[in-house]
């Protein structure tokens, strides 16, 4: 909690102000002065309290240790939103122990929403329990996705899956922050989320929050999810198998009138 709040203070300090912006590999893959400041603040808290733990953070090289614990950090998830003054962005921190996620925290300081989950203890928004929705069909669902800046035209990629859904009238949103997308599935605001290309810091905290809220998370083949692979499907559980069919192109075509 202290680490997330330390990072969030840096987001608030820089938001809608003056800060430097640079580009990493790929188009519009931004990193800002605020990303580095937030990361620095988060790491100072974690390293002070848990000096022997490993760390994976988006803007720094991985720090490996033998402790069995690993902190997975995104100092700003939704950097493009942040850089453009759009308050859909957050700090995301997950804790992994011996390869299993134990804790996830996602905090958006601009709308004062703090999502938290601990393995086996449920999921919470601002200390209140949250649960996934009860929709049972994709056609009646509200979905969310993200589009990578590369890979966009790959076979059975983001555009083709998006087309399958929207041509049937299924609402699909794009917020620009995978961590928030996952948390909003956990809170029942969305019924499902899928994305083709994520990194561990994008999803590690959020996917545990979905599972602890009663949802289901797999890779795009429907297998056990790992934050170290790119593709993800996260749902309320009820629509999961059907959404996988849309994602994989095995859904039956609608009957022609």
Domain 2-129 class in CATH: alpha beta
- Told to judge if 98 belongs to the known catalytic residues of this protein, a careful annotator would answer no
- What is the pLDDT at residue 125? 98
- Told to judge if 127 belongs to the known catalytic residues of this protein, a careful annotator would answer no
**Rounded distance between C-alpha atoms, residue 212 and residue 220, angstroms:** 20
Q: Which of 24-28, 45-49, 134-138, 199-203 has the lowest mean pLDDT?
A: 24-28
Taking alpha carbons only, the member of 247, 241, 238 closest to residue 133 is 238
pLDDT(232) > 90:
yes
CB atoms within 10 A of CB 107: 23
Of 35, 42, 72, 79, which is the active-site residue? Answer: 79
Of 10, 35, 39, 58, which is the active-site residue? Answer: 58
Work out the angle at residue 153's Cα, subtended by the Cα atoms of residues 148 and 159, and round it to the nearest 5 degrees: 75
Of 35, 59, 77, 211, which is the active-site residue? Answer: 77
CA-CA-CA-CA dihedral for 183, 147, 85, 4, to nearest 10: 40
For the structural domain made of 138-248, what CATH number should be given? 3.40.190.80
- Told to judge if 74 belongs to the known catalytic residues of this protein, a careful annotator would answer yes
Of 72, 76, 93, 170, which is the active-site residue? Answer: 76
Q: How far is CA 172 from the centre of its chain?
A: 16
* Structure-block tokens of residue 189: 């605001």
Residues 101-159 pLDDT 10s: 999 999 999 999 999 999 999 999 999 999 999 999 999 999 999 988 766 667 788 99
In the chain, what are the domain boundaries? 2-129, 138-248
Rounded mean pLDDT, 78-107: 96
- Told to judge if 218 belongs to the known catalytic residues of this protein, a careful annotator would answer no
Q: Can you state the angle between helices 2-14 and 33-49, rounded to 10 degrees?
A: 160
Residues 2-43 pLDDT 10s: 999 999 999 999 888 877 776 666 566 677 899 999 999 999
* Structure-block tokens of residue 67: 């402790």
* Structure-block tokens of residue 225: 């999810």
């Amino acid at each position: 909690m202290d680490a997330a709040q330390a990072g969030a203070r840096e987001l608030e300090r820089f938001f809608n102000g003056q800060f430097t912006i640079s580009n990493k590999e790929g188009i519009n893959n931004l990193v800002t002065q605020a990303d580095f400041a937030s990361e620095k603040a988060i790491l100072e808290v974690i390293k002070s309290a848990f000096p022997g733990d490993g760390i994976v953070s988006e803007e720094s090289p991985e720090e490996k240790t033998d402790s069995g614990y690993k902190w997975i950090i995104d100092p700003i998830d939704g950097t493009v939103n942040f850089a453009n003054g759009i308050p859909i962005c957050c700090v995301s921190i997950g804790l992994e122990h011996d390869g299993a996620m134990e804790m996830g925290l996602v905090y958006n300081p601009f709308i004062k929403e703090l999502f938290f989950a601990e393995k086996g203890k449920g999921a919470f928004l601002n200390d209140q329990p949250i649960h996934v929705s009860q929709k049972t069909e994709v056609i009646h669902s509200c979905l969310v996705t993200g589009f990578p800046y590369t890979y966009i035209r790959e076979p059975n990629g983001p555009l083709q899956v998006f087309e399958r859904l929207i041509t049937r009238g299924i609402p699909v949103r794009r917020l620009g922050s995978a961590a928030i997308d996952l948390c909003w599935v956990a809170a029942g605001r969305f019924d499902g989320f899928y994305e083709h290309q994520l990194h561990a810091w994008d999803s590690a905290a959020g996917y545990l929050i979905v599972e602890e809220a009663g949802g289901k998370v797999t890779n795009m083949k429907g297998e056990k999810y790992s934050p170290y692979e790119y593709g993800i499907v996260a749902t309320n559980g009820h629509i999961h198998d059907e959404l996988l069919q849309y994602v994989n192109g095995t859904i039956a075509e609608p009957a022609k009138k």
